Amino acid sequence: MAFHFRFGPADLLRCRFSISPRWETQEAVRTLMTPARQAYHLPWLRQIRAAADGLDLRPLWLLMPRTGHNPDFLSPPPLGPSVTFEEELARVRSSAADPEALREDLRRALVCTPGAAGSDLGRRMLADPARAVHELADLYEQAWTALIAPHWPRLRELLEADILFHTRRLAAGGLEALFDGLHPDLRWADGTLTIDRPAHHDRSLDGQGLLLMPSAFMWPEVVGGYDPPWQPTLVYPARGIGALWTASPGPTPLALARLLGRGRADVLCTLDEPASTTALARRLGLAPATVSAHLKALHGAGLLISARHGHRILYERTPLGIALATGAPPAEPVPVPVPPGGGTRGVAGQG
């Protein structure tokens, strides 16, 4: 038994990444009831405990069976690389237009939890699925506001850094290299991606390609599925969640501050993962314009490279930048900086 995604020639060209704030909200709610997921998120759990205690999450938990079907209408795959929570929630609400499809989706999820379909709450959902959709969407909105929105900039940074890392693996080694590094339960062979699971799911992508979504709250699981007509999707645990809620890096070495100046040295040492100007400004407590000036200087000196993700530009250290910030020797030749007016440098292949 396993999940199979079967690729055709067109699908190889239509794999893409996306980030879903609605999915992170859903999985944060699931994490609250799943102790096995909580180890990496204890600082977050302490911060949101009071807010979580003020929410009645039972309707959502009832539709989150430990194994089996989760309602597709509650988690539609995002339509673009950087959708907002409000855009995603509007899609959830729009599913109320087809009550019969909703009822079947709800029924399939409820029967996966013993007693759920016959409970008062389960019966109410099945009796009026359109109303259930709006009530569940309202509850997701409350969960987003209380649990995720205050932490979204930090979470988005992590997810964007993961996508940047894996797009480079894809560029360097193709789909085989990409899938080999996403999760140990994934196997790629003969144009088929297989997920080791006790259940069976077999889907030909039929030219739609595969949507890949990193998630901060998924560890240690990987999830694949969605029945037609939904976009085939694979959700995997993002890299770096072990340091997601940890404190900022230690103080900048004095020698490096003397060499580069305190501001530029702080920016370089803070870039342990790719980040945007806004994220760095928030971490360092500096004005975005100040951080932007430091980034420009470090980029021009060959200590940083940049890559666009949606409407944002992420910066990360080159081998020379890593060597200066950490004291480790460069692992590969240092790229030559482009002189002022010399055009935009491409992104080098960093591991």
Residue 248 confidence (pLDDT): 58
> What is the structure's pLDDT at 2?
84
- Percentage of residues in the chain having pLDDT higher than 90: 50
pLDDT at residue 147 in the model: 97
- Cβ–Cβ < 8 Å for 96, 134: yes
Q: How far apart are CA 194 and CA 171, in angstroms?
A: 21
Tens digit of pLDDT for each residue in 140-157?
A: 999 999 999 999 988 998
Instruction: Tell me the HSE value of 236 on the side-chain side, using a 13 A CA sphere.
Output: 22
Q: Residues 81-109: what's their mean pLDDT?
A: 91
Q: Distance (Å, rounded) from C-alpha 24 to C-alpha 90?
A: 16
pLDDT band of 339, cuts 50, 70, 90: very low
Decide if pLDDT at 317 tops 70.
yes
The angle, 0 to 180 degrees and rounded to 10, between the axes of the packed helices 21-32 and 152-180 is 100
Of the candidates 152, 113, 125, which has an alpha carbon nearest to the alpha carbon of residue 23?
A: 152
pLDDT of residue 340: 36
Copy the structure tokens of residue 7.
């690729």
Lowest mean pLDDT among 48-52, 249-253, 341-345: 341-345
Strand pairing report for 233-237 and 223-225 = antiparallel
Contact between 191 and 167 (Cβ < 8 Å): no
Give residue 307's pLDDT band: very low, low, confident or very high (50, 70, 90): confident
Distance CA 283, CA 280 (A): 5
